[in-house]
Each structure stands twice: as structure tokens, then as C-alpha cells.
Structure 1
């Protein structure tokens, strides 16, 4: 089995959920379940944020011109419904069901075409970045998948490859993967260290660092956050392994 992780960075006005999250930077949406057949797609999503952010996210899912997961740039004529399954002051659980038309395209359907059946999907949406984690058999055509994906998103989103590896390597890591960071994440982290971003007080702020690297501020923030999250989780996992290892006799 293979793990494929990538992100779509949406331009303003191209994805209603991305626009809502960009207005509420502390809000997040992650999928709890996501399934697709040739004709349909249904999913359950868990959102966190302020009451205003959750209202905006719910409206984006329910009242957009077309379904939020569709990559078509215009109304594709799909039939979709979204229902609120649970709501508290800071969490929201949404169920969505989408019946596609020939004009529709989506990540899961493109994956079915090029990676085969049985692909597992996990998503995380924050700001304008929509991260997808796919587990697939490894028998499909990954370059063809990305070509089709980039054609479908057009100028609405930029695609960034984060990781493509065997699932056993993804779980345990390897010395050859530079701690599991994508080249973009590694470059962002290295520049942040070299320019004093992690010093106290900071030698540079994130806006200045983004300008130096020639990337949008939101993109740099996203890459640093993902790199920090990955390294922190790996550190904790390694510490647990060390603690569980029997002491030498």
C-alpha cells in the first residue's frame, strides 16, 4: 500500500469553504468519513472554531453555488444536500451527499479513475489549504492522477505534493525521507531557523520571512505549521518507543 499526501491552495472566490476558513484563520475542518462511487460522493466532516466561524462554514457547505468538493469552475448541475448532525459552541459535524453529473470532477473521482477502487481518503481544510491524504494499492498511475487533478483545478488552485511513500515507511519513518517533510516544508523550516524566526525575541516575523522566500504569508504559515506538527508528533512517538524499550541487563 502507498500513502499520497498533497495540498490544494485555493485562490479567493474559487472554493466557498476555503473563503470561509480564510476569514476565520483559527477554524479547521477535517473529514471523519469520505466515500465515493462512480456516481456519488458522501462524507462526514468535523469543524472547530468560533460560533461565527461555524456559521460561515455551515453556510459554505449548504448554500454555495455548487458542492464544495466539486472542482468544476461553474455550476455543474450536481444534486447535493448537507445536514448538521451535531453542533456545540465550538464544534460542528456535517453530513454531505453529492450526486454528480458528467460535468463534475472531484479528487475522489479522479483518484478512482487513475488509482483504482479501494482508495481511502482523509482530508484537512484550514485557510485556503485543503490537504488530502490518500491510501492506495500502489498499482495506479500517480503522475496521470496529478495531471488530471491539475487540469481540473486549472487556475483556481495550486497543487503542492507533500509526501508519497510506502505506508510502512510513513508509519515508522526512514532515514532517507528527511524526517518526513516535503521539500517545501524543509526549506521553510530551514529558512525560519537561519533567519531567527524561532529566536526569542524573533529575528524576523512570518511576513518578512514570506517576502524573503517569495511565497504568500498564508502559504509559509501553513508549511511551518505542518512541519512543526509532524516533527512534534514524531518526537513524542520516538519518546514513547524509548520509554517502552526494555532496559539493558
Structure 2
């Protein structure tokens, strides 16, 4: 009986285990397609103008099928923003880990934020503009604000350290930070890979502008390694050509 029992268990595993894995794979694929469609629609027409019916139509599913994978449209938005913000923070912390100079840190922050918005324009647009769509006072809103603030702290500290060491001369640190970040995030609106300037050229020019804004001494700054950019897993692949190698975007 023990032998028969073992054979039966192996048969069950081969038969049902594979089916369970197939179901999990299909669920994962459906979840990915829903989130990619949500990024596309939220960026193109805005969160408020996008309904569950629009999402269902985009991925060829029923409304009930959508709700099998997401509890609500707002929960979906919060998830997209949470993953994107954490990805940006993690990538930034890896890039800055061994960088001590305030000038080098600011240069990395400028080039990485610029490149992130240029290569993932739809994800970053949702991340930057749809915070207003989360319910005031909700736990999700508080979490996303905390993540955003954690990222901006890297900018605050780099600028403050530059001022305290005499490397930067700034009248208003907050206004300078906001101006530089706005310059970087604006690339999601206008940058095109087939435009007049390459992404490397845009990043280099923005770093030069940023260091001039804080009145830092002119110096040669190493080019950003594009493979270090954050992974935004649900950026629609054909929204805009990404200059990074394919393996760096997986």
C-alpha cells in the first residue's frame, strides 16, 4: 500500500501540480497585463477618467475578471505607485552607496531622475501626478507620501551637505531642490530617443545646469550607467523606446 500510495502521490503532483503552476502563471500574466494597461490609461487619460470597464476592454477581460486580480481601482493605483517609488528609492540608494562628495551625489541624482523619467515616461507620470487621486487620510496616501519623502531626502541631504561644506552657494535650498527636480521630471513630457540629443547628452547638460545653479566648481562628472536605473516593471514596452539593453529592463 505504501508503494501504491507513493505512486498515487507522484501522479497527483504531476497532474495537478502542473495545472496549479499553469494557473499561477496565467494569474501572474493577467496581473501584469492589467497593471501595464493601468499605467498606459492612467498616463494617457488620467486616473479619474479611467474606469474598470476601460481596463477590462484594454486587456480583453470582463469587469469581474479585473476584480479577481485587484480589489479596487484605487488599490491598483496605490500598488503601481508603491512599486515605482520603492524601485526609485532602491536604485538611488545603490547608486549613492559609496559616493561621498555632495557634488557627485547631486550629479547622480540629477542624471538618474532625468533618465528614469525619459525611459519610463508613463510610469513616472502616474507616480508624479496621481498622488491627488488617493483618498485623503488613507493609509495608502500616507505610505506613498512617506516613500516620496524618503526619496526627496537624498536630494535634501546632498544639497545641505554641499552648502555646509562650502561646495554649494544657495540662497534657498528648498526652491533650488524643487527647481532641479522639476527640470529632471519634465523629460517624461518631451524626451524622444530619436530627437536631436541622446539621453546621455541630456543628462550631461542637465548636470551642468544643476551644478551651475548651486554654484559648484566646474568639474568632469562620470556618465550615468543606464543599467543602474530603477526597474519599472509595468511600463508599457512600446510607449517609448528604452535605450537600455533588454536585459537591464527585465
Q: Flag the structure with more relative contact order, 1 or 2, with Cα contacts below 8 A and sequence separation at least 6.
A: 2
Q: Which has the larger radius of gyration?
A: 2
TM range, smaller chain:
under 0.3
TM-score using structure 1 length = 0.25
TM-score using structure 2 length = 0.25
